[in-house]
Structure 1
Amino acid sequence: MKTNRKYIVQFVWGVSGILIMALILFGGLFYLGEQERTPVVINESGFCGVPNLPEDMQRGKELFDQNCLACHKLEINVLGPALKDTDHLVVHTWLFVEPNKKDQVEYGWMFHVQTFKDRISEAESLAISSYLNQTN
């Protein structure tokens, strides 16, 4: 029984030695094959790839986020339709003057006009439109 134990211990030490040597060898190969690292240049275009917007578009984004984002997204339909590349005349008409909109005809009340006519000026609607029509 002692002779078997002696062989088992020798086998375990031998396998351990081989594994340690293999790790050292492969680690050295990876270290020697590593190229010199260059520092990463941070793009000053914005956070997480989002471009820095001009001042009017930034204001439009703020207004969009405060007033429209709950129901609308730029590129996907959620509660309301996607608004990317919406013409300013459409935005202005939708917010201020359109008497025959779907919400008035179907539900009997003018949701957008009642909600936004005193909160968003025409200049602010221009800022929102410039944000909606930004080129990416």
Structure 2
Amino acid sequence: MKKIRILLFSLTAIIVVSTGIIMYLKIFKKSEIPECGTHDLPSCGNIDLTENQKKGKEVFNSNCAACHKLNSKITGPALHEVDSIVFVNWLTNKKHKIDSSKVEILAIDYHKTVFSKTLSKEDIAHLIEYCHSK
């Protein structure tokens, strides 16, 4: 009877210690395969951006992202396939804005600011390069 207790105690101890080691290794061991979304990896659908495109992304996120997405229309149109000449004219020339007489009736004007006052030509070039990168 005493031998059976010692044997059961030994087996229980081995099982508990083994389970503890396995759980420790699973919890604290770094995965060798990064999960999608943790890093900007081309294999996850993200592309590597050039320095100019990264600057353009910063400009986009701080000035455009509230109303625009690159590939889908939300408040404003998608900017991915906008021609660069149209893009520059829209950002810098007040004549290319929405018809203000109709906008005033609706009390909505999405582009009251001419972005040439807030964005440099270099910023606009980086923005266009970023928008055309995806």
Is the aligned partner of 1:112 residue 2:111?
A: yes
- What is the number of residues matched between the two proteins? 96
Return structure 1 stretches of 4+ with deviation > 6 angstroms: none
- TM-superposed deviation, 1:123: 1.3
- Residue among 65, 68, 89 paired with 1:69: 65
Pair 1:89–1:120, CA change in 2 (3 A) = same
**TM-score between the two structures when normalised by the length of structure 1:** 0.58
> Percent sequence identity over matched residues?
31
Normalised to the residue count of structure 2, the TM-score between the two structures is 0.59
RMSD: 2.9
Larger-Rg structure: 1
- Distance (whole Å) between structure 2 residues aligned to residue 49 and residue 115 of structure 1: 34
CA offset digits 1:30-68 (Å, max 9, x no partner): xxxxxxxxx6489xx824542220000110011001100
Q: Unaligned stretches of 5+ in structure 2?
A: 1-31
SS in 2 for 1:102: coil
Structure 1's unaligned 5+ residue stretches are: 1-38
Select between 111-120 and 60-69 the one with higher mean Cα deviation: 111-120
Higher relative contact order (CA 8 A, sep 6+): 2
Give me the whole-angstrom Cα distance separating, in 2, the residues matched to 1:52 and 1:107: 40
Identify if the C-alpha distance between structure 1 residues 100 and 60 changes in structure 2 by more than 3 Å, giving closer, same or farther.
Answer: closer
Secondary structure class of the residue paired with 1:114: coil
